[in-house]
């Protein structure tokens, strides 16, 4: 039997990589992808808990997490498109109008 | 609602009407204030007759302050003492109001004057009818305020404005001690209402309080602190300096406030608290000596002054000294009796002086007057009666009251004998300077300018009728206190006995005749010397002045009190205010804080602003850092 | 023994894949590695007896979200921008933060005390299929939340259209 801890550990590692990637990368598309990575890591952890605690609540939550993630990806990409139309580039550290 | 509340309420209403709407009535605006005070007068007379028949009124109108243990109500206590004061205050106030119609005619602030007079009457009535110390203090401060308004009435004049300030500030010194006394009464007796205070006074007997290492009797301390207020308000030594300068105000003001009512509030306070004072020998001695020394000092200053109003002002200080002298030897009733007669003849003197000034178009210097009796017979006649009264000529009011004081002082032990001697000397000086004024002003040749001579006329009836009424008072007011030795029943002494007690008299009738004779002799002697110097041998005053030049200078400069206070108090205060309070506290500390705090916040905000770089990843770093910190805190502190 | 080996394979591969996703220069490469990663996720869900979720993962994530990403990348025609810098200047902070959060979670895992066991045992789920079990649970107890989720998707649709519209 694979202990629960291993699954959680795996989930944590992926989450961490996603977090670091989100902070370190410049390209907005890659940042959105990292967000999806983080959300998926959390999904894994939820399913693992649901399996080991023999409770379906975790899986219900995964449903909603997935749907929200999809919605958020859509909106994020729409914003990205709008930004690209105005600025012709997608570097996150050049988008500093909210400075100050 | 009882009628007693109308006594102070009517003048208050008159004040409000006049101060808000007075300017619309212009020259007719004096009717409502006069009617208001007349109403108060009528009710006071009715109240007086009720008190004579034995009714004492003591009730609370409403609850003023309720704060924990501290409960004070607004209430009225009208006993024999208050009834006498009511008569004095309302009578003189009414007559001054009528007099002002003529005196202040044509003045631009006419309505303001009557409004302030009404406000003053209200304050004084609240002071004397109160049944607790807080209401008395309220009235005390209010009369001080009205005094400021009225002294500085012609506020465009620098000297008048200064005099108003001086009166208020010097009074403040006294009120500080008075306030401390009120606090101590509350701390040690738990109440500020008179009936409760006097019921519990015996609990303070023998207690001492430790002040800076010295053990002082508690009752003595409280009495002396309350007396501080009296010193300030009644212009005794050392706080007498304001009364002479207060003559900058219009003469009706001087008559009302600085002769008959406000300055007598101090005597009223001591008389009202006579159970407290009688418990402390030290306090009584202090009161008596202060009164006596002030009396002597003021009388000597009045000898050489040339300003007619100032002479009468110093005369007031001197007579107030007499009243405190009486209270100090236990003769509170005699003190109040003198207060009552003094109100009449002093107000008469002031209003008469006002009449003279009215004729002389504002001239004050008696050296520039002379022979006015031909032009102003009524003024001369009433002024003469007042001067006879103050000199203690038998049969007139001043004689009975002054004599009562001197006789009871003589009976008052060692201290009593000392102050009796001083009082007798002062009686002689009083007669002298009063008649100096009479001879220099009304007799002899006119020493003014030609235009002034053409202008001389008797005053209008609105001014002379009050003079005549007061003259009747100056003669007859004393007849309520004819001592037994002369065949009377000393009605007023017995009337005031339930409140003011009865002093011990162990002299014989023969001694009483002797005392009376000496004081009458001093009075007549003073008049005689004044006649010699100013009527029959006019060159003599100049000779005396040159011969005793240094003494003359000291007296003329009022013992240099003003200069002393200027150097020791006024200048250091001004220096302190300018250099330290303005220079350091205001400019550096307060400005520093007021400007510095925004600057600090601005800089802090400036630095904090740099945190918002606009770069998304930096915000994400912040978020992750926050999660890390909070999660670790949870793990560290959670059980 | 076998489950552990299989799990080991998954662990290593998924970790490597996620590193690859994060570090590619070309966004299209990242997206394609993400596709592989999603298949691995679906496989793990199958191991955990959640076949419906595995199916949803493929359909939704691999089928819709990734395609959306590819569409946008192709629409923006970003190949020219590939020459830009990959990482921002503060990337060491990112690594440090990541490692600290990882350590924190590991520490938390060691202290983990699982709660009480629920009633949906594996046998129970396998008796009626997982889909039916999840469906029954979802539509009875979590109906309200389900409807809210549909509202969220509605907002996303409308929002995406409004934001990305070409202004006339």
Chain A residues touching residue C145 (CB < 8 angstroms) = 60, 64
> Residue B211 belongs to what H/E stretch?
strand B208-211
| Number of DSSP helices (H) and strands (E) in chain C, helices first | 8, 0
pLDDT at C81: 55
Q: Is A20 on the interface with B (CB under 8 A)?
A: no
Cβ atoms of B299 and B352 within 8 Å: the answer is no
* Min Cα–Cα distance to chain A from C105, Å: 7
> What span, in angstroms and rounded, lies between the C-alpha atoms of B337 and B477?
9
Q: How far is CA B397 from its chain centroid?
A: 22
Q: Is B615 on the interface with C (CB under 8 A)?
A: yes
Of the candidates B95, A78, B488, the one whose C-alpha atom is nearest the C-alpha of residue C164 is A78
pTM exceeds cut of 0.80: no
From first CA to last CA, the distance across chain C in angstroms is: 64
List pLDDT tens digits, range C21-63.
Answer: 999 888 889 999 999 999 999 999 999 888 999 999 999 999 9
The partner residue sitting opposite A98, judged by closest CB among B614, B617, B624, is B614
> What span, in angstroms and rounded, lies between the C-alpha atoms of B178 and B232?
9
> What span, in angstroms and rounded, lies between the C-alpha atoms of B581 and B572?
12
Question: Angle B36-B38-B44 (CA atoms, 0-180°, nearest 5)?
Answer: 105
Q: Is A19 on the interface with B (CB under 8 A)?
A: yes
List pLDDT tens digits, range B388-434.
Answer: 988 888 888 888 888 888 888 888 778 888 888 999 999 999 999 99
> What span, in angstroms and rounded, lies between the C-alpha atoms of B45 and B51?
10
- Residue B620 to residue A93, Cβ atoms within 8 A: no
The partner residue sitting opposite B615, judged by closest CB among A19, A24, A92, is A92
> What span, in angstroms and rounded, lies between the C-alpha atoms of A1 and A48?
13
* Min Cα–Cα distance to chain A from C156, Å: 5
Regions of chain C where pLDDT drops below 50: none
* For residues A2-13, average pLDDT: 91
In Å, what is the CA distance from B40 to each residue of B147, B256, B285, B474?
20, 16, 37, 22
Regions of chain B where pLDDT drops below 50: none
Chain B residues touching residue A24 (CB < 8 angstroms) = 617
Question: Angle A16-A21-A23 (CA atoms, 0-180°, nearest 5)?
Answer: 100
Q: How far is CA B270 from its chain centroid?
A: 13
Q: Is C102 on the interface with A (CB under 8 A)?
A: yes
Task: Establish whether the linkage from the previous residue to C7 is cis, with ω within 30° of 0.
Answer: no
- Residue A24 to residue B620, Cβ atoms within 8 A: no
Chain C residues touching residue A43 (CB < 8 angstroms) = 41, 53, 57
**DSSP string for residues in B451-480:** HHHHH--PPPHHHHHHHHHHHHHHHHGGGG
* Burial (CB count within 10 angstroms: exposed 0-12, middle 13-18, buried 19+), residue B132: buried
pLDDT at A66: 94
> Residue B58 belongs to what H/E stretch?
strand B57-67
Taking only residues 93 to 152 of chain C, the set having a beta carbon closer than 8 angstroms to any beta carbon of chain B reads 93-94, 97, 100-101, 104, 107-108, 111
Return the structure tokens found at B233: 């308000």
Q: Is C36 on the interface with A (CB under 8 A)?
A: no
Question: Residue B617: closest CA among chain A residues belongs to which residue?
Answer: A23
* For residues A31-53, average pLDDT: 93
- Residue A60 to residue C157, Cβ atoms within 8 A: no
For CA atoms B28, B32, B37, B41, the dihedral sign is positive
Cβ atoms of B97 and B31 within 8 Å: the answer is no
Q: At what angle do helices B265-272 and B218-233 cross, to 10 degrees?
A: 160
Of the candidates B72, B124, B64, the one whose C-alpha atom is nearest the C-alpha of residue B93 is B124
pLDDT at C66: 94
pLDDT at B218: 84
Cβ atoms of C88 and A26 within 8 Å: the answer is yes
Please count the other Cβ atoms lying within 10 Å of the Cβ belonging to residue C67: 13
> What span, in angstroms and rounded, lies between the C-alpha atoms of B237 and B244?
13
The partner residue sitting opposite A100, judged by closest CB among B609, B620, B621, is B609
pLDDT at C79: 61
- Residue C90 to residue B635, Cβ atoms within 8 A: no
Return the structure tokens found at B395: 């049969």
Best mutation target among C107, C120, C155, C165 (most A Cβ atoms within 10 Å) is C120
In Å, what is the CA distance from C81 to each residue of A87, A90, C27, C29, C30?
13, 8, 10, 14, 15
Taking only residues 5 to 64 of chain A, the set having a beta carbon closer than 8 angstroms to any beta carbon of chain C reads 5-6, 8-10, 12-27, 29-30, 32-34, 36-37, 40, 43-44, 47-48, 50-57, 59-60, 62-64
* Min Cα–Cα distance to chain C from A94, Å: 11
Pairing of β B208-211 and β B57-67: unpaired
Return the structure tokens found at B630: 């909070």
Best mutation target among B616, B623, B627, B632 (most C Cβ atoms within 10 Å) is B632
Chain B residues touching residue C101 (CB < 8 angstroms) = 624, 627-628
For CA atoms A52, A53, A56, A59, the dihedral sign is negative
Best mutation target among C103, C104, C110, C111 (most B Cβ atoms within 10 Å) is C104
Backbone angles phi, psi at B193, to 5 degrees: -85, 140
Please count the other Cβ atoms lying within 10 Å of the Cβ belonging to residue B255: 31
- Residue B615 to residue A93, Cβ atoms within 8 A: yes
Partners of chain A (3+ Cβ pairs below 8 A): B, C
Question: Residue A91: closest CA among chain C residues belongs to which residue?
Answer: C84
Cβ atoms of B174 and B229 within 8 Å: the answer is yes
pLDDT at B593: 85
Q: Is A24 on the interface with B (CB under 8 A)?
A: yes
Collapsed DSSP state (helix, strand, coil) of residue A98: coil
> What span, in angstroms and rounded, lies between the C-alpha atoms of B104 and B121?
18
* Min Cα–Cα distance to chain B from A53, Å: 23
Chain B residues touching residue A97 (CB < 8 angstroms) = 614
Pairing of β B208-211 and β B214-217: antiparallel
ipTM, two decimals: 0.90
Backbone angles phi, psi at B548, to 5 degrees: -110, 55
Chain B residues touching residue C93 (CB < 8 angstroms) = 621
* Min Cα–Cα distance to chain C from A53, Å: 5
pLDDT at C55: 94
């Amino acid at each position: 039997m694979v202990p629960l801890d291993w699954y959680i550990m795996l989930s944590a590692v992926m989450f961490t990589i996603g977090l670091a990637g989100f902070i370190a990368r410049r390209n907005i598309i890659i940042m959105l992808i990292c967000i999806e990575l983080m959300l998926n890591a959390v999904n894994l952890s939820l399913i693992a808990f649901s399996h080991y605690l023999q409770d379906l609540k975790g899986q219900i939550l995964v449903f909603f997490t997935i749907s929200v993630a999809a919605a958020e990806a859509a909106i994020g990409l729409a914003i990205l498109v709008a930004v690209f139309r105005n600025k012709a580039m997608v570097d996150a550290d050049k988008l500093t109008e909210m400075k100050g | 609602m009882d009628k007693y509340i109308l006594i102070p309420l009517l003048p208050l209403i008159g004040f409000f009407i006049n101060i808000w709407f007075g300017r619309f009535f212009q020259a007719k605006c004096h009717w409502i204030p006069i009617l208001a005070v007349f109403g108060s007068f009528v009710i006071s007379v009715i109240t007086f007759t009720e008190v004579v028949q034995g009714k004492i009124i003591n009730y609370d109108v409403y609850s003023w302050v309720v704060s924990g243990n501290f409960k004070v109500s607004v209430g009225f206590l009208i006993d024999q003492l208050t009834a006498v004061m009511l008569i004095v205050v309302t009578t003189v106030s009414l007559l001054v109001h009528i007099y002002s119609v003529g005196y202040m005619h044509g003045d631009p602030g006419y309505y303001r004057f009557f409004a302030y007079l009404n406000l003053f009457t209200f304050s004084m009535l609240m002071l004397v009818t109160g049944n607790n110390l807080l209401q008395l203090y309220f009235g005390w401060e209010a009369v001080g305020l009205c005094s400021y308004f009225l002294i500085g009435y012609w506020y465009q004049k620098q000297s008048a404005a200064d005099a108003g300030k001086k009166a208020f500030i010097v009074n403040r010194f006294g009120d500080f001690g008075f306030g401390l006394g009120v606090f101590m009464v509350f701390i040690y007796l738990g109440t500020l209402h008179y009936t409760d205070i006097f019921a519990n006074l015996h609990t303070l007997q023998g207690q001492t309080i430790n002040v800076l290492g010295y053990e002082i009797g508690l009752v003595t301390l409280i009495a002396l602190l309350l007396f501080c207020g009296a010193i300030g308000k009644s212009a005794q030594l050392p706080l007498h300096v304001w009364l002479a300068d207060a003559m900058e105000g219009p003469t009706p003001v001087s008559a009302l406030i600085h002769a008959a009512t406000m300055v007598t509030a101090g005597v009223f306070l001591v008389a009202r608290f006579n159970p407290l004072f009688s418990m402390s020998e030290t306090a009584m001695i202090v009161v008596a000596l202060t009164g006596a020394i002030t009396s002597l000092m003021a009388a000597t200053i009045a000898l050489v002054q040339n300003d007619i109003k100032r002479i009468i002002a110093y005369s007031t200080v001197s007579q107030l000294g007499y009243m405190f002298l009486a209270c100090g030897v236990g003769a509170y009733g005699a003190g109040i009796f003198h207060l009552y007669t003094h109100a009449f003849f002093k107000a008469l003197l002031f209003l008469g002086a006002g009449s003279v000034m009215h004729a002389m178009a504002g001239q004050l210097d008696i050296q520039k007057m002379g022979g006015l009796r031909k032009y102003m017979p009524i003024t001369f006649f009433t002024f003469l009666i007042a001067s006879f009264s103050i000199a203690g000529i038998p049969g007139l009011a001043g004689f009975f009251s002054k004599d009562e004081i001197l006789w009871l002082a003589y009976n008052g032990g060692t201290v009593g004998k000392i102050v009796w001697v001083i009082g007798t000397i002062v009686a002689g000086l009083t007669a002298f300077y009063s008649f100096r004024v009479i001879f220099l002003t009304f007799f002899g040749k006119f020493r003014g300018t030609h235009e002034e001579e053409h202008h001389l006329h008797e005053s209008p009836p609105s001014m002379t009728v009050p003079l005549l009424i007061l003259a009747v008072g100056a003669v007859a007011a004393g007849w309520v206190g004819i001592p037994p030795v002369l065949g009377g029943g000393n009605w007023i002494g017995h009337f005031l006995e339930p409140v003011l007690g009865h002093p011990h008299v162990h002299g014989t009738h023969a001694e009483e005749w002797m005392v009376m004779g000496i004081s009458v002799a001093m009075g007549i002697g003073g008049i005689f010397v004044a006649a010699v110097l100013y009527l029959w041998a006019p060159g003599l005053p100049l000779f005396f002045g040159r011969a005793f030049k240094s003494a003359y200078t000291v007296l003329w400069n009022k013992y240099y009190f003003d200069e002393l206070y200027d150097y020791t108090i006024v200048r250091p205060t001004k220096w302190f205010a300018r250099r330290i309070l303005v220079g350091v506290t205001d400019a550096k500390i307060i400005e520093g804080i007021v400007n510095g705090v925004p600057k600090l916040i601005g800089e802090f905000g400036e630095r904090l602003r740099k945190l918002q770089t606009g770069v998304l990843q930096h915000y994400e770093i912040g978020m992750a850092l926050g999660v890390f910190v909070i999660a670790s805190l949870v793990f560290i502190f959670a059980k | 023994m076998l489950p552990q080996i299989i799990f080991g394979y998954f662990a290593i591969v998924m970790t490597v894949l996620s590193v690859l996703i994060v570090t590619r220069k070309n966004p299209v490469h990242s997206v394609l590695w993400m596709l592989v990663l999603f298949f691995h996720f679906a496989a793990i869900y199958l191991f955990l007896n959640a076949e419906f979720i595995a199916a949803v993962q493929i359909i939704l994530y691999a089928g819709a979200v990734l395609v959306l990403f590819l569409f946008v990348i192709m629409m923006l025609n970003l190949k020219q921008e590939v020459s830009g810098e990959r990482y921002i200047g503060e990337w060491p902070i990112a690594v440090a933060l990541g490692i600290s959060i990882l350590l924190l979670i590991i520490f938390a895992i060691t202290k983990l005390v699982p709660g009480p066991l629920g009633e949906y045992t594996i046998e129970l789920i396998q008796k009626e299929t997982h889909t039916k079990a999840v469906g029954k649970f979802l539509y009875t107890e979590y109906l309200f939340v389900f409807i809210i989720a549909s509202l969220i998707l509605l907002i996303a649709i409308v929002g995406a259209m409004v934001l990305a519209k070409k202004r006339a």
